[in-house]
Amino acid sequence: MSLYPLKFTPLYKYRIWGGEKLKTVLHKEYQEDSIGESWEISDVKGDETQVSEGSLAGKTLSALIEEFKEAIVGKKVYELFGTEFPLLIKFIDAKTPLSIQVHPSNEIAKERHNSFGKNEMWYVMEAEKDAELIVGFNQRVDKKSYVEALESGKILDVLNNDTVAPGDTYYIPTGRIHAIGAGVLLAEIQQTSDITYRIYDYERVDATTGKTRELHTEQAVDVIDYSVSDTYKTAYTKPENGTNTLVHSPYFKTNIMNVKGEMEKDYSELDSFVIYICAEGSLELVFNNTTYKISKGETVFLPASIDAVSLKSENADVLEVYY
């Protein structure tokens, strides 16, 4: 059986802060209210996405890896992770702010939860006027002053707020305190992990439980990176019909492509799967004389055995993700 570009059926997640933009902006199809996350490509246990079309429809990532091994993910990824897929791709719609949170490192996550850590990145797709992200601290703090700010209800005073616009990109390494603010729709690329330490949640009550959500104050203190940066935003340029670096980390690599007209992509030297996330516009992907249409908010998985594809668009911004 030959491999082809794969689309997966997303999994939709209720969130206390979720809105309607996954439906109204990205044209996702679901009936529930307050859907905050669309898990596009997931191998999280119990939340595995399935191929939506073609001869491999219904198969999960781990089943595909078991069957096709390095042909689907690449030799290096297969040797490192076996049948586990290392990345989780999401769209997130925050109608109200997310909790202030932090993620543990690989080492701590392995020790405490038998899980990967959660290094991640954000690419802003839509942002309402004055919408913000919280990333890092705005002043020098240590463990003692952080705990004092938290206990006195002044934690927001020491956090860095950035007003954001479409295209803004942030890398969130483990240990960096962060939160998505109200009115932001973004793409998130992260390690396969669902481990989050919630630090502060505005004392909100979850309507589905009638209770406030659990905080992880003690666990978080030891994993926070207390350093301060001048800027947390990723600087980049976006050349027309070119590919440029967004975030290259030890856990994933993400580039930005602006497709105008036709673009040929040669992956013969790349030992990895490739994931396309259409962040703006729409495009056509041509492989083996078959055309695959990709709209804003759609995600496509290219198996590692695919060496070349052609991309066509009037004007599309595409995130290119690989290991």
What residues pair up with 295 in beta bridges, in sequence order? 282
Alpha-carbon gap, residue 268 to 146, rounded angstroms: 49
Residue indicated by tokens 């993910």: 73
Alpha-carbon gap, residue 305 to 321, rounded angstroms: 16
**How sure is the predictor about 116, in pLDDT bands with cuts at 50, 70 and 90?**
confident
Which tokens sit at 72? 């689907």
Q: What is the secondary structure of 258-297 as a DSSP string? A: EEEEEEEEE-TT--S-EEEEEEESEEEEEETTEEEEEETT
The pair phi, psi for residue 138, each rounded to 5°, is -100, 0
Q: What is the pLDDT of residue 193?
A: 85
242: amino acid identity, one letter: G
Alpha-carbon gap, residue 161 to 180, rounded angstroms: 10
DSSP SS3 for 66: helix
Quote the mean pLDDT of the chain: 95
Express as a percent the part of the chain with pLDDT over 90.
86
Alpha-carbon gap, residue 255 to 240, rounded angstroms: 13
8 Å CB contact between 317 and 257: yes
8 Å CB contact between 256 and 319: yes
Tens digit of each residue's pLDDT (9 = 90 or more) over 7-58:
999 999 999 999 999 999 999 999 999 999 999 999 999 999 999 999 999 9
Q: What is the pLDDT of residue 206?
A: 85
Tens digit of each residue's pLDDT (9 = 90 or more) over 264-322:
999 999 999 999 999 999 999 999 999 999 999 999 999 999 999 999 999 999 999 99
Asked if pLDDT for residue 136 goes beyond 80, the answer is yes
Q: What is the pLDDT of residue 256?
A: 97
pTM of structure: 0.94
The average pLDDT across 113-125 equals 91
- Pairing between strand 169-172 and 120-127? antiparallel
* 178 belongs to an annotated ligand binding site: yes
Which tokens sit at 239? 């050349």
All domains of the chain in start order, with CATH: 8-221 (2.60.120.10), 243-322 (2.60.120.10)
The Cα angle at residue 187 between residues 184 and 190, in degrees rounded to 5: 125
DSSP SS3 for 172: strand
Which tokens sit at 288? 């083996």
118: amino acid identity, one letter: K
- The lowest-confidence range among 135-149, 170-184, 199-213 is 199-213
* 27 belongs to an annotated ligand binding site: no
Asked if pLDDT for residue 1 goes beyond 70, the answer is no
Q: What is the pLDDT of residue 205?
A: 86
Active site residues: 198
The average pLDDT across 86-115 equals 93
| 117 vs 145, residue with greater confidence | 145
* CA distances for 61 relative to 1, 49, 273, 304, 318, angstroms: 16, 7, 12, 13, 22
Q: What is the pLDDT of residue 106?
A: 84
Tens digit of each residue's pLDDT (9 = 90 or more) over 182-194:
999 999 999 998 8
* 113 belongs to an annotated ligand binding site: no
Q: What is the pLDDT of residue 314?
A: 96
8 Å CB contact between 266 and 306: no
Asked if pLDDT for residue 195 goes beyond 90, the answer is no
Tens digit of each residue's pLDDT (9 = 90 or more) over 240-263:
888 999 999 999 999 999 999 999
Residue whose C-alpha is closest to residue 100's, from 202, 13, 221, 232: 202
* C-alpha R_g of the chain: 20
